[in-house]
Amino acid sequence: MMFKDPWNPTQEEIKKWAYSDEMAPEQDWELAIYKIENIPMICTFVEDEQCEHTSYFLNTLYVFTGDMVRVGREIQKLSQLLDTIENTTKSKELKLWIERSQLLIEYPEYYDNSYWGLCSKFVYE
């Protein structure tokens, strides 16, 4: 699969990759796709059993929250996004991500890169 620019992928390119069996186009590609406007779409991939990369996208959500809280960027937007997703999600994985994210927002001093960074222990252990 070809990306015009893997570090600035379109939502359509991300969606195509989500349903492919290909490896991520770049190392640490989570950082390229975790823009706030992509988060609702990423959540749909986590909930879709047809998606080939559900763990990858779940990890992306943890990295997204961790980075937002760690640098103190757009916390209000993040909180609103979590509230919106919480009202529609059915999966226990997303509910747990939301719950953990809300706790991290409230207690940012508990940030731990091994849980909120790439290869999150929340996802891969």
How confident is the model over 13-70, as pLDDT tens digits?
Answer: 999 999 999 999 999 999 999 999 999 999 999 999 999 999 999 999 999 999 999 9
Going from the C-alpha of 76 to that of each of 62, 80, 105, the distances in angstroms are: 17, 6, 10
- Would you state the pLDDT for residue 13? 97
For residue 73, what pLDDT is reported?
A: 85
pLDDT at position 2 is 80
Paired tokens of 28: 């640490």
Domain ranges of the chain: 32-116
H helices of 1-125, in order, are 11-18, 30-33, 39-47, 54-71, 75-88, 92-106, 113-116, 121-124
Q: For 50-54, 70-74, 78-82, which range has the lowest pLDDT when averaged over its residues?
A: 70-74
